[in-house]
């Protein structure tokens, strides 16, 4: 900064730069942040703090030796590594070949231990499980591990192994500090191990294949759960879970809102947020499915509203406490299909009359909310949530 020019406080500079952190698609805007880091020395540190916040080792592979050298060889490298809050990494078995981007399982914990303030790990792998002896070996050869709060696991396809992968249980044994859990697999979890990590208290769980009841009991034995994401539909184990935990839930995500899933919502009397892909009302009684839905809901998100946009307004009318309505339709309203425009105008008019904040954000269709717990929903993906991850 040239002499004679006053400089803003670093906290204010950081807040300004945070406004440019996400692109329209909800991804970190690395080109903009990189340019900001070169403006002047005053901007460098806050811009780099954001640049290193999310480290994607799936698309940008660095050798383990380079990472160790970078993070530990200088004071600057140590500072930059302390800015990392989220890592995306792919793992493979040491005997597996042909996947250059994946890291060997033996390097996994040594890499994680390089980032002392890590909050979230996004893990995809082709490993079926980590045996007990290997876990002990990894622990003994790694520096102290950060207490991560969010784990998103893309588990292997189990057809080649002949059964469900126990990898999730093993990861939670390594990190009983996890509070936000996402599990993606084409098959349900297997039976859990007999011992449960002490101190494991999940606030949120998300899955696309419904776990067996024994797995849910192992993962959620008490009344800690606040957010449920059943993204692959509901089945026989969801009702027992909601009978036990429903009154404590603040947010629920279902794939479809149809008679069965709507009836389950009656078990969640204190619900604040409902997140669904589509509304599928029965032809005989299109508005009848809304009756069991708790009136406490303050945020409603319909991720694919166009196909059933005529069902949105009756649901909105059923929710007297609604504050925010998220409908990812089109950023440009002239792209809205002709047969939907009249209903869209009605929705806008009702929201205006009732003081409901209407969010039309197409990027929200596939994006996941930040893994944080907020006072009021929606959470979204926002730099305003960063303070919960420090």
> pLDDT per residue over 197-220, tens digit each?
888 999 999 998 888 889 999 999
Nearest by Cα to 315 from 326, 167, 387, 174:
326
How many Å apart are CA 287 and CA 290, to the nearest integer?
6
Q: Is residue 27 part of a domain?
A: yes
How many Å apart are CA 326 and CA 112, to the nearest integer?
36
269 has pLDDT over 90: yes
pLDDT recorded at residue 161: 47
How many Å apart are CA 21 and CA 15, to the nearest integer?
10
How many Å apart are CA 164 and CA 128, to the nearest integer?
8
In angstroms, the Cα distances linking 282 to 90, 105, 227, 308, 327 are 43, 49, 27, 12, 22
189 has pLDDT over 50: yes
Q: Is residue 257 part of a domain?
A: no
How much is the average pLDDT of 69-87?
88
Residues in Cβ contact with 117 at an 8 Å cutoff, skipping those fewer than 6 apart: 82, 83, 84, 85, 146, 390
Q: Is residue 46 part of a domain?
A: yes
The Cβ of residue 323 has, within 10 Å, a number of other Cβ atoms equal to 17
Q: Is residue 371 part of a domain?
A: no
Lowest mean pLDDT among 354-358, 363-367, 375-379: 363-367
Domain that residue 40 falls in: 7-50
DSSP state of 22: B
100 has pLDDT over 90: no
For residues 226 and 201, the answer to whether their CB atoms sit within 8 Å is: no
Say which residue, 64 or 251, is predicted with more confidence. Answer: 251
Q: Is residue 32 part of a domain?
A: yes
| Termini Cα distance of the chain | 29
How many Å apart are CA 384 and CA 19, to the nearest integer?
9
pLDDT recorded at residue 301: 95
Residues in Cβ contact with 58 at an 8 Å cutoff, skipping those fewer than 6 apart: 88, 89, 90, 101, 124
Say which residue, 267 or 58, is predicted with more confidence. Answer: 267
Say what percent of the chain tops pLDDT 70. 89
Q: What is the pLDDT of residues 291-342, one digit of tens each?
A: 999 999 999 999 987 777 889 999 999 999 999 999 887 666 667 778 888 8
Q: What are phi and psi of 374, to 5 degrees?
A: -115, 165
Q: Is residue 286 part of a domain?
A: no
H or E segment to which residue 35 belongs: helix 30-37
159 has pLDDT over 50: no
How much is the average pLDDT of 246-255?
96
Q: Is residue 244 part of a domain?
A: no
For residues 313 and 347, the answer to whether their CB atoms sit within 8 Å is: yes
Provide the strand spans (E) within 43-167: 54-56, 86-92, 103-104, 120-125, 150-154
pLDDT recorded at residue 95: 53
Q: How confident is the model at residue 244 (pLDDT cuts 50, 70, 90)?
A: very high
Q: How confident is the model at residue 16 (pLDDT cuts 50, 70, 90)?
A: very high
Q: Report the number of distinct structural domains present in the chain.
A: 1
Q: Is residue 109 part of a domain?
A: no
How much is the average pLDDT of 154-165?
61
Lowest mean pLDDT among 107-116, 123-132, 175-184, 261-270: 123-132
Say which residue, 99 or 247, is predicted with more confidence. Answer: 247
């Amino acid at each position: 900064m040239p002499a004679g020019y006053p400089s803003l406080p670093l906290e204010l500079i950081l807040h300004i730069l945070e406004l440019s952190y996400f692109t329209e698609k909800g991804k970190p805007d690395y080109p903009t942040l990189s340019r900001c880091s070169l403006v002047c020395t005053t901007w460098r540190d806050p811009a780099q703090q954001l640049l290193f916040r999310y480290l994607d080792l799936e698309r940008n592979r660095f050798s383990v030796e380079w990472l160790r050298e970078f993070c530990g060889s200088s004071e600057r490298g140590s500072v930059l590594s302390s800015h990392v809050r989220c890592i995306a990494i792919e793992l493979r078995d040491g005997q597996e070949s042909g996947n250059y981007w994946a890291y060997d399982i033996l390097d996994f914990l040594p890499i994680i231990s390089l980032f002392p303030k890590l909050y979230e790990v996004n893990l995809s792998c082709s490993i079926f499980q980590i045996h007990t002896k290997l876990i002990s070996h990894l622990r003994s050869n790694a520096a102290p591990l950060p207490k991560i709060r969010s784990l998103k696991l893309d588990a292997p396809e189990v057809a080649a192994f002949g059964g469900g992968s126990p990898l999730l249980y093993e990861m939670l044994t390594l990190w009983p500090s996890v509070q936000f859990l996402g599990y993606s697999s084409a098959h349900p979890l297997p039976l859990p191990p007999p011992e449960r990590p002490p101190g494991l208290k999940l606030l949120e769980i998300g899955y696309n294949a419904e776990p067996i009841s024994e797995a849910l009991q192992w993962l959620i034995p008490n009344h800690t759960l606040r957010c449920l994401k059943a993204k692959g539909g509901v089945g026989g184990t969801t009702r027992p879970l909601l009978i036990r935990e429903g009154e404590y839930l603040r947010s629920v995500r279902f794939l479809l809102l149809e008679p069965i899933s709507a009836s389950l919502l009656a078990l969640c009397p204190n619900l604040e947020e409902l997140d669904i892909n589509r509304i599928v009302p029965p032809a005989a009684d299109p508005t009848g499915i809304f009756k069991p839905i708790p009136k406490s809901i303050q945020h409603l998100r319909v991720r694919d509203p166009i196909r059933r946009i005529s069902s949105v307004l009756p649901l909105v009318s059923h929710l007297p406490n609604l504050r925010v309505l998220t409908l990812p339709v089109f950023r440009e309203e002239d792209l809205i299909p002709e047969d939907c425009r009249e209903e869209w105008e009605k929705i806008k008019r009702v929201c205006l009359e009732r003081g409901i904040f209407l969010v039309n954000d197409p990027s929200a269709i596939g994006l996941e909310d930040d893994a944080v717990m907020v006072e009021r929903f929606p959470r979204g993906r926002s730099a305003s949530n960063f303070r919960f991850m420090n």
